[in-house]
């Protein structure tokens, strides 16, 4: 991955990491599935009327919208109301990198290089330490839900890759148009129509900020960049970038909610970032190796003269 794309990707990860704190702000007043349905409605309307449908079969757009809306963000928001802290939700969601590497290998025959394995091991150690340093801010239900969300994230990435689209922004907008209705049906089936009345009565400026932040910086901008990276690079290269979301998520939780960040969290964040850097710098290291080999061959030829 080139430097410009890596920097842009990390900026999106910062937005996504803070987004977990913003989600927590919103779900304190509104049902998570209903709030997520509003988020995707705002993200697609009215933009969809100005963006031409991408040249891909409908099945990719529909499956993307349903899994992305319900499986990734509906369930992730639900995990926070089920007892996960905002920081822990961001950390555990990054287990999608494991699913991503496996799917990339099994479906797309992506190469699992030594650098990717080493980087994933570093990141895995960081994630493990993050779990040890949460001071009990996890619940079994919350963990199960966020792992479902992580798996869904990898499935969504696979759908984008399999679609073969070259229109990342259009694909995101048209795909997300299929998210609100399943989310609304899911919310009503779980809690009944009373959640709509409760949402209206409890709505305030914090809820408004939450859904608008989730809709535009997080969704419209973030997933436009993310899908472009997926189309440009192998899934097993792009997926590890998501690990930095956990770092920014822990920082956001500490800053906005006073969630503890001790020595173990700092060490965990360092390991995660180190793992990502090992993976992202792989092309550069290969170039360096080739340069060294050329210098050696040059030196040998000079010596033979």
Identify the burial level of 113 via C-beta atoms within 10 angstroms of its C-beta, where 0-12 means exposed, 13-18 middle and 19 or more buried. Answer: middle
d(CA 82, CA 95): 19
Asked if residue 286 has pLDDT above 50, the reply is no
184 vs 85, residue with greater confidence: 184
pLDDT of residue 49: 95
pLDDT of residue 270: 82
Q: Look at residues 84, 70, 71, 91 and name the one whose alpha carbon lies nearest to residue 13.
A: 91
Which pTM value belongs to this model? 0.78
Per-residue pLDDT tens for 209-256? Answer: 999 999 999 999 998 898 788 778 886 677 677 778 888 998 898 888
Mean pLDDT, residues 139-146 taken together: 85
Query: What average pLDDT does the chain have?
Result: 83
Q: Using an 8 Å Cβ cutoff, are 143 and 91 in contact?
A: no
Asked if residue 282 has pLDDT above 60, the reply is no
Per-residue pLDDT tens for 19-65? Answer: 999 999 998 888 999 999 999 999 999 999 999 999 999 999 999 99
Asked if residue 112 has pLDDT above 50, the reply is yes
Domain of residue 8 covers 3-304
Confidence of residue 143 (pLDDT cuts 50, 70, 90): confident
Total domains present in the chain: 1
Per-residue pLDDT tens for 148-193? Answer: 998 998 899 889 888 988 888 899 899 999 999 999 999 999 889 8
For residue 213, what are the contacts with CB-CB under 8 A and spacing of at least 6? 19, 22
Asked if residue 129 has pLDDT above 70, the reply is yes
Q: Using an 8 Å Cβ cutoff, are 17 and 244 in contact?
A: yes
């Amino acid at each position: 991955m080139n430097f410009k794309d890596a920097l842009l990707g990390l900026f999106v990860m910062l937005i996504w990491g803070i987004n977990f704190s913003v989600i927590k702000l919103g779900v304190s007043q509104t049902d998570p599935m209903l709030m997520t349905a509003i988020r995707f409605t705002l993200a697609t309307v009215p933009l969809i009327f100005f963006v031409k449908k991408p040249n891909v079969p409908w099945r990719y757009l529909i499956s993307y919208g349903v899994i992305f809306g319900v499986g990734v963000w509906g369930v992730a928001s639900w995990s926070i109301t089920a007892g996960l802290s905002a920081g822990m939700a961001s950390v555990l969601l990054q287990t999608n990198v494991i699913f991503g590497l496996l799917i990339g290998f099994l479906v797309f025959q992506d190469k699992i290089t030594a650098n990717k394995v080493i980087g994933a091991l570093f990141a895995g150690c960081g994630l493990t330490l993050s779990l040890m340093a949460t001071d009990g801010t996890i619940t079994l239900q919350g963990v199960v839900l966020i792992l479902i969300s992580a798996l869904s994230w990898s499935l969504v990435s696979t759908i984008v890759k399999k679609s073969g689209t070259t229109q990342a922004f259009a694909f995101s907008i048209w795909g997300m148009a299929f998210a609100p209705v399943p989310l609304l049906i899911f919310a009503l089936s779980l809690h009944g129509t009373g959640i709509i009345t409760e949402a209206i009565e409890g709505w305030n400026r914090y809820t408004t900020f939450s859904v608008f932040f989730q809709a535009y910086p997080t969704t419209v901008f973030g997933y436009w960049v993310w899908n472009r990276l997926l189309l440009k690079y192998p899934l097993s290269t792009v997926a590890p970038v998501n690990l930095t979301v956990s770092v920014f998520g822990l920082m956001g939780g500490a800053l906005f909610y006073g969630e503890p960040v001790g020595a173990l969290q700092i060490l965990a964040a360092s390991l995660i970032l180190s793992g990502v850097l090992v993976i992202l710098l792989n092309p550069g290291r290969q170039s360096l190796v080739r340069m060294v080999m050329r210098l050696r061959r040059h030196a040998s030829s000079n010596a033979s003269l």
